[in-house]
Amino acid sequence: MKILVVGNGGREHAIAWKLAQAENIQKIYVAPGNGGTATDKRLENINITDIQELAKFAADEQIAFTVVGPEAPLASGIVDEFRSKNLLIFGPTKKAAQLESSKAFAKIFMQRHNIPTAYYAIFNNNQDAKDYILEKGAPIVIKDDGLAAGKGVVVAMTITEALDAVDLMLGNDSNKNNSKQIVIEEYLSGEEASFIVMADGKNILPLATSQDHKRLKDGDLGSNTGGMGAYSPAPVVTPKVHARIMREIIEPAVKGMEKDGIPYTGFLYAGVMIDENGNPKTLEFNCRMGDPETQTIMARMKSNLVDVFKMSFEQKLNLVNIEWDRRCALGIVLASHNYPNTPRIGDKINGVNYTSENSEAPVVFHAGTKYNAENKELTTSGGRILCVVALGDGVKQAKKNAYDAVNNISFDGMQFRTDIGYRAIK
């Protein structure tokens, strides 16, 4: 069987790595892939990113099914294109992907279906936005309406920061009505968790819970990033909180999409804030898995992922029970010099030699890496470079195992956090 995975990050490496463990796999193509997917057994990169060309490739190569990693191709309609050619693909349609691609769409949707979230207002006028901020006070949160790779959010602790964010996102002409919109919302405090499920349009299959570390520096300081590390499971999601998230957020979301005539298929990721009383509120929806959350989730998945996807295409996810490793998985992201601003590329990476055959060993998932087959050299080619994932009995042990593995890896300008998992350990 041949499968196609679309994307080039650590998330896609982890998905492809897991798929490749199934029996009867001839080849997992990754488009366009990275240095890790270029070298793993049974994986092969194909240098195609255009949606129509990908559909043609899938048809010509008789790909059994396609899995889409990142949001951009989903928001551009890759699922609609594949389905119009009768090709199996796991992901939401362009319309359904608006849950992530438009924060305004998501907020209005949540309000309509009584899904708990921060109160909010939508603006395209600088002065109106500023008046609202002055009325509400700080802390307050300003969000770009469109896709911004996790970087379009300013959590303003002061009024000045909030007003500056409005100028930054809408421009500082106070009277102009922009074509662009921003969402201003209530600041929520508590502990965040990533709650990811698979949906087949009818049924919902929750995956293992996880928690991400969005800030660049230890102690949750520094710039917001795509994610600097993660672990699974997230202890903050107790069985009771889990049941509430399913009942109050996930089920109304999937049913709500169906009611609105936009049935949801694919991964659905709710970023939730859980307050000290265990009340969950939705921070955001993503129409994909999280990165680096996926790397820790795949490391714990014992079931055959190919079978899970097959069941989803038959709308039988209600019959699937995924078996998870009882241990904790913890992943540390190694990022390049100057990430998340303008990352430097082209640095030689040393010390990455893992074997994906040994399920006990730490696994190094690649993201922004490039493999040169001639000199067998691996170099940096993006912002987040690698994610080193280890399992352990408890977060503390997983953390120790993962950091021990990080010690073997180096490249110029390498940045990483030294406190991944601290909330769960505390």
**Angle, helices 10-19/305-313, rounded to nearest 10 degrees:** 90
How many residues belong to the site for ligand GLY (CB under 6 A)? 8
- 385 token code pair: 């470079």
Residues 192 and 269: beta-carbon distance below 8 Å: no
Residue 248 is given by DSSP the state: I
Nearest to 32 by CA among 52, 54, 67, 7: 7
The distance in angstroms from the start CA to the end CA of the chain is: 45
Q: Which is nearer to ligand AMP, 192 or 419 (CB)?
A: 192
Stretch that binds ligand AMP, among 50-58, 82-90, 147-155, 293-301 (CB under 6 A): 147-155
Chosen residue from 150, 340, 343, 392 binding ligand AMP by CB under 6 A: 150
The reply to whether 290 sits near ligand GLY by the rule CB under 6 A is yes
Q: Which is nearer to ligand AMP, 43 or 274 (CB)?
A: 274
Residues 253-312 that bind ligand AMP (CB under 6 A): 271, 283-284
Residues 92-131 that bind ligand AMP (CB under 6 A): 118
Helix, strand, or coil here: 32? strand
Q: What CA–CA distance (Å, rounded) separates 169 from 145?
A: 10
Nearest to 153 by CA among 134, 172, 136, 140: 140
Tell me how far, at minimum, the Cβ of 190 lies from ligand AMP, in Å: 9
Residues 90 and 64: beta-carbon distance below 8 Å: no
The reply to whether 212 sits near ligand GLY by the rule CB under 6 A is yes
Tell me how far, at minimum, the Cβ of 347 lies from ligand GLY, in Å: 23
Contact of residue 185 among ligand GLY, ligand AMP, none (CB under 5-8 Å per partner type): ligand AMP
Q: What CA–CA distance (Å, rounded) separates 169 from 419?
A: 32
Q: What CA–CA distance (Å, rounded) separates 383 from 334?
A: 9
Stretch that binds ligand GLY, among 59-67, 129-137, 239-247, 283-291 (CB under 6 A): 283-291
Stretch that binds ligand GLY, among 1-9, 15-23, 216-224, 285-293 (CB under 6 A): 285-293
Residue tagged 């694919």 (tokens) = 266
Nearest to 68 by CA among 256, 272, 307, 294: 294
Contact of residue 290 among ligand GLY, ligand AMP, none (CB under 5-8 Å per partner type): ligand GLY
The reply to whether 144 sits near ligand GLY by the rule CB under 6 A is no
Q: Which residues contact 56 (CB under 8 A, 6 or more apart)?
A: none
Contact of residue 291 among ligand GLY, ligand AMP, none (CB under 5-8 Å per partner type): ligand GLY
The reply to whether 150 sits near ligand GLY by the rule CB under 6 A is yes
- 130 token code pair: 């500023």
How many residues belong to the site for ligand AMP (CB under 6 A)? 15
Stretch that binds ligand GLY, among 73-81, 153-161, 231-239, 287-295 (CB under 6 A): 287-295
- 329 token code pair: 């998985």
Measured between alpha carbons, how far is residue 142 from residues 173, 181, 199, 308, 423 in Å? 18, 11, 30, 38, 26
Other residues' Cβ atoms within 10 Å of the Cβ of residue 418? 12
Q: Which is nearer to ligand GLY, 92 or 128 (CB)?
A: 92
Residue 169 is given by DSSP the state: H
Contact of residue 147 among ligand GLY, ligand AMP, none (CB under 5-8 Å per partner type): none
Stretch that binds ligand AMP, among 54-62, 184-192, 203-211, 335-343 (CB under 6 A): 184-192
- 75 token code pair: 């928001």
The reply to whether 383 sits near ligand AMP by the rule CB under 6 A is no
Tell me how far, at minimum, the Cβ of 283 lies from ligand AMP, in Å: 5
Stretch that binds ligand GLY, among 38-46, 284-292, 309-317, 346-354 (CB under 6 A): 284-292
Tell me how far, at minimum, the Cβ of 389 lies from ligand AMP, in Å: 21
Q: What CA–CA distance (Å, rounded) separates 402 from 367?
A: 17
- Chain-centre distance for alpha carbon 255: 22
Contact of residue 141 among ligand GLY, ligand AMP, none (CB under 5-8 Å per partner type): ligand AMP
Rg, C-alpha atoms of the chain: 21
Using CB under 6 A, list all residues that contact ligand GLY: 150, 212, 226-227, 286, 290-291, 293
Using CB under 6 A, list all residues that contact ligand AMP: 118, 141, 143, 150, 153, 155, 185-188, 192, 214, 271, 283-284
